[in-house]
Amino acid sequence: NYKQGRLSENDCPEKPLELFTQWLKEAVTSNCDEPNSFTLSTLKEGRPAARILLLKAVSETGLTFFTNYLSPKGKQLSSQPFASATFLWLPLERQIRVEGLVEKVSSQESDEYFNRRPYGSRIGSLASPQGEVVESREFLEKKFREFTAKYPEGSVIPRPENWGGYILKPQLIEFWQGRENRLHDRVQYSQGTQGWTKRRLAP
């Protein structure tokens, strides 16, 4: 039985990203493991493909994450620019599902985030052809050493053109709070021409 909390549609704000931000902050302060991790689901030739990513920013517009544009997920988003994100915080017995349109963020925003990354992560972005078949671990380590020699720590490392951010612009968001006897609380927001519509779903 889930007994950590409850969720009433009457107490939910009119804008779902306000509640999303509140729940994310509570996940952080509750010491949930990797509270900004989520499952990103995309479409691959009409079939679902999913992997775990890290959320890097939340704004009134949507949820931002970064990756290699030429990776499998990047190619899938290029051909089908829609995705869903699923967050799970077990200690709080909570889940959020987000569905919507995905767009690239500006080059400036990608540059700013790339330059904030740790040195090794920036070198890794240059060295790794993400998602492609490589001959061995040694191949990757060799590429890493080559770029380390080319860009010593403290030097300016250019952001690869094929690396940057995406923003998931929500069209549907569902908040799930575990309750006793499997009578969970589910509140769904859907976006229409007049704004957000909020309703309760059966568990």
Active-site residues, by number, are 182
Q: Is 182 left (phi over 0), alpha (psi -120 to 50) or beta?
A: left
Side-chain-facing half-sphere of 25: CA atoms under 13 Å = 7
User: Which element (helix H / strand E) includes 5?
Assistant: none
Residues 6+ away with beta carbon under 8 Å from 112: none
6-38 residues labelled b (16+ CB within 10 A) or e (exposed): ebeeeebeeebbebbeebbeebeeeebeebbeb
